[in-house]
Amino acid sequence: MKIKLLPKFIISLGILGIVITVAVSIFSYATTKSYLNQLYAERIMTNSNAIAAMLDVNDVKKIISDGGEKTPEYKEMYDLFNKLKADGEITFLSLVVPDEDSVTFYIDAMVEEMGDDPALQIPYGSNILYTDAANPNDPKDMEKYITIWENYAKNKGIDKPLVTDNDYGFNYTGISVILDENGKAIAEIQYILDMSEVRAYLNSFLVNMFIISFAIIGITILAYIVFVRKIVINPVGRLTDFTQEITRTNDFGNQRIKIKTGDEIESLSHAFNFMLSELEEYIDNLSRVTAEKERIGAELDVARHIQASMLPSIFPPFPNRDEFDIFASMTPAKEVGGDFYDFFLVDEDHLAMVIADVSGKGIPAAMFMMISKTLLKSAAQSGLSPKAILEKVNNQLCENNDAEMFVTVWIGILEISTGKLVCANAGHEYPAIMRKGGSFELYKDKHGFVLAGMEGSKYREYELVLSAGDRLFVYTDGVAEATDSNNNLYGTDRMIDALNKAKDLSSRELLGSLHKDIDSFVGIADQFDDITMLSIQIKQVSSSFEEISLKPSLDNLDQVTDFIDNLLSEGGVSNKLIFKVNMAIDEIYSNIARYSGATEARVGCNVAENKVSLRFVDNGSPYDPTVKEDPDTTLSADEREIGGLGIYMVKKIMDDISYEYKDGRNILILEKNI
């Protein structure tokens, strides 16, 4: 809800007036209260000390001795106390002698004309315990009695009145001791003055100050509001109405306002008139600029859609291929970006993967990106190796590269059946690799020069072998160089940590988790560079097993072991390891022949990557030896259950055993590291 200037001004002045009123009133009240309290305190102590000084010590001794109430001195001093009480309007005036836990009253002045009740007069010689005299609702009241006694024991009174403010009333008490000729206290004067009327006066004074201050300040504020309304509010109101009229009519050329106040408001009106004279021309220019900007924005939007359509965006991209899980994403820093990724099947057994980063941003980078992507894909589909692809595309991009742009590229071609990945790197970021069951680590490959940097550049390629469960992650520098508001870099170490936290997720979820971690790190800072990522996970590798097929019979066991022995010998496997492998073959094949009921069986072998892999396939009854519990070898032969030792031996010999039942067949794979 909008509030006009005048109401705001009135409200602010009203608040200011209230604050000033309260401050002045409280200050006046505090000053007056301090003055009166000091005045009455001095009066009480002066009068109390004067009374103590005027009394004859011998008379006091007679009065406080046994039978002292019958002496002439008592009568004379009693009359004196009553007169002093009446003349000084003292609330209570007493002659007392305190001790450690009580006080004895010898004279308690009583003036009926002052409203004193004779029934409440304390009789001569009354000994009153402090616990009875103190207010039970005021724990500090007892402390006052103790203070009086402690001072009395030191032959002195008190320097200032004791203040009592409880159910017994609001009183100031002055205590002055009466000393004998040896300076020893023999009695004391108890001088009590009721301060309730002083308090009432101060409260009345505070209320009157509030009323007077508020009235004076209120009249001043009203007069000032009238003045400000005439000098400020009305001219500003005219300017407001004038502005609304211009806004309604959209007529900026012929509108002017005249205000004569001789101050800054008049200067504001002149400035407003000058602004109007310039505004119409500015609006014409702005209309032309806006139209041009909208045209460029529309073209950028088309460019963004064209660029996005050139990148693979349908996932999963190969629904019929279950050997791998691949996902990629590109988030440009501007409407269009210079990063790109690509992946495509060169043939049924080869998958090409590309990730690249063009120098610069915006439209030029996007155009160079589309050219680079097209050339790379064309060269890859022609069957060239990664090394040859980079060399060919580099020479093509160097032709007529007047803009001197360049592009970093990582390219890899995966042989799907074997998991062999042939890669080449043209000045791009290191890829990250995770082996099955392990963690992501940077693979520091050897970089060649960037593409379009120098004609005739040569590139190296290298091979990786990815097994089932392995993962590969490639990215552009927009990931590692993401920057927060304090100019801190995200960095590859933080990237690897984020990847390892999400390493068990799918490729899509892995990239989403990493992007979320980058966004959390960057915070409110603007995106500095394009962020492009690609991840692939190998689901299964159809290794090229050499196989022998035969009827599962014990008579064929030697034929199987001879076949495997030849393959292992050709693969350079030691005789010691061949002997161990034969033990495992004998156990597994014998079980298939004896117990599975299979009518056909295949035994395959593959030696690669310092590993021996054996595969047994049969059409017998489903049986998973990996779930069978190991026998307790600590028991004697008579105590152990029959069977199970053969499978247990195979588990001990081999390094890895996997089983699945697929398409009506048992598939058991044994692996042994060389």
Which positions ≥6 away from 28 have C-beta within 8 Å? 205, 206, 209
- How does residue 98 score in pLDDT terms, banded at 50, 70 and 90? very high
Predicted local distance difference test score (pLDDT) of residue 637: 47
The mean pLDDT of 103-126, rounded to a whole number, is 91
> Mean of the pLDDT values across residues 558-577?
90
Q: Which fold has domain 546-673?
A: Heat Shock Protein 90 (3.30.565)
Q: What is the helix (H) or strand (E) element at residue 281, kind and residue range?
A: helix 264-310
Question: pLDDT tens digits for 19-47?
Answer: 898 898 899 889 998 999 899 999 999 99
Give the pLDDT band (50/70/90) at residue 630: confident
What pLDDT does 494 receive? 96
- What is the third-level CATH fold of 311-538? Phosphatase 2c; domain 1 (3.60.40)
pLDDT score for 277 = 64
Phi, psi of 132 (to 5 degrees): -85, -30
Dist CA 586 CA 650 (whole Å): 10
Q: Which helix (H) or strand (E) holds 249?
A: helix 234-249
- Per-residue model confidence as pLDDT tens digits over 608-628: 768 888 989 899 999 888 887
For residue 612, what are its two tokens?
């021996």
Residues 6+ apart with CB under 8 A from 240: none
pLDDT recorded at residue 152 = 92
* pLDDT the model gives residue 262: 64
Extents of the domains making up the chain: 55-194, 311-538, 546-673
Q: Is the pLDDT of residue 232 over 80?
A: no
Measured N-to-C along each axis, helices 196-228 and 5-54 cross at an angle, to the nearest 10 degrees, of 160
The DSSP result for 532-552, as a single string, is EEEEEEE-------EEEEE--
What mean pLDDT comes out for the span 240-251? 69
> What global pTM score does this model have?
0.45
Highest mean pLDDT pick, 240-244, 421-425, 549-553, 610-614? 421-425
283 band by pLDDT with thresholds 50, 70 and 90: low
pLDDT in tens, 296-345: 555 556 555 656 567 888 889 998 888 899 999 988 876 566 789 999 99
Architecture of domain 55-194: 2-Layer Sandwich (3.30)
Residue pLDDT, tens place only, 149-197: 999 999 999 999 999 888 778 889 999 999 999 999 999 999 999 988 8
